[in-house]
Amino acid sequence: MTALPQVEQAAPEIEMRTGLPDVEVRRRLALAMRREETGARVLAFYLVEMDGRRLYQTSGHGSTAHYAEVGLGIDRRRTCDLLHVGRTLLELVEVDGAFCAGRLGWAKVLVLARVATPKHEAEWLERALALDCRRLAALARRSKPGGPPRKPSEQKGLPEIRFPLGVSVGVLGRAKVEQAQAKLAAELGREVSLAELFEALAGDFLASEADGSVPGRKRVDASIYRVIVREDDDGGPGGTLLAETEEGPLPIESAGAVRCDAEELRQQGESQLELDVKTPPPLRRKVLVRDEARCRSCASRHDLMVHHMEFRGEGGRTSAENLITLCTRCHALVHEGLLVLEGATAGEVRFLDAAKRPLELGEPVAAITPPAPQGAAEREFVMLDAVPEVVDGAWWERHAHLFHERKDGTGLRFEAGEPREPVQGRGTTVAEPADGDPFAGLVGQDETVRRFKIAATGARLLGHAFAHTLLTGPAGTGKTRLARSIAACLGRRPIEVLGPMTTDKPTWLRLLAALEEGGVLFLDEAHALPRPLLEMLLEALSEARLTLTVSDGVRARTITLALPRFTLLAATTEEGLLPVALRSRFGLRERLIHYEVKALSTLLLQAAAAKGAEVAPEAAARLAETARGTPREALRLLDRALDDCAAQGTPRLDAEAVEGALARLGYDEHGLDATERRYVQVLRRSRRPVPLSRLSRTLGLSPSTLVESVEPHLFERGLVCTTLAGRMATPAA
**Active-site annotation, residues:** 479-480, 524, 573, 632
**CA separation, residue 134 to residues 141, 299, 367, 433 (Å):** 11, 8, 24, 74
CA separation, residue 309 to residues 342, 346, 352 (Å): 9, 8, 13
HSE-up of 519 (CA within 13 Å, CB side)? Answer: 21
707 conformational bin, left if phi > 0, alpha if psi -120 to 50, beta if neither:
alpha
- Compute the distance between CA of residue 733 and CA of residue 413 in angstroms, rounded to an integer: 61
Identity of residue 580: V
Beta bridge pairs of residue 34: none
* Residue 207, Cβ density class (10 Å: 0-12 exposed, 13-18 middle, ≥19 buried): exposed
Task: Give yes or no for a contact between 218 and 210, defined as CB atoms under 8 angstroms apart.
Answer: yes
Distance CA 403, CA 386 (A): 14
Give phi and psi for 245, each to the nearest 5. -125, 180
Q: Is 108 helix (H, G, I), strand (E, B) or coil?
A: helix
Environment class of residue 351 by beta-carbon count within 10 Å: exposed (0-12), middle (13-18) or buried (19+)?
buried
Query: Is the Cβ–Cβ distance between 487 and 439 less than 8 Å?
Result: no
| Interatomic CA distance for residues 294 and 334, integer angstroms | 16
Measured CA to CA in angstroms, residue 673 lies from 304, 450, 622, 698 at distances of 101, 36, 15, 17
Report the C-alpha gap between 153 and 530 in whole angstroms. 55
The DSSP 8-state label assigned to residue 494 in this structure reads: P
Q: What are phi and psi of 720, to 5 degrees?
A: -135, 145
What is the distance between the terminal CA atoms of the chain, rounded to a whole angstrom? 72
| CB atoms near residue 495 (< 10 Å) | 19
> Are the beta carbons of 120 and 108 closer than 8 angstroms?
no
Strands 520-524 and 545-551, by their bridges, are: unpaired
Q: Which amino acid is at 57?
A: Q
Are 150 and 142 a contacting pair, CB within 8 Å? Answer: yes
* Residue among 692, 698, 693, 659 nearest 675 (CA): 698
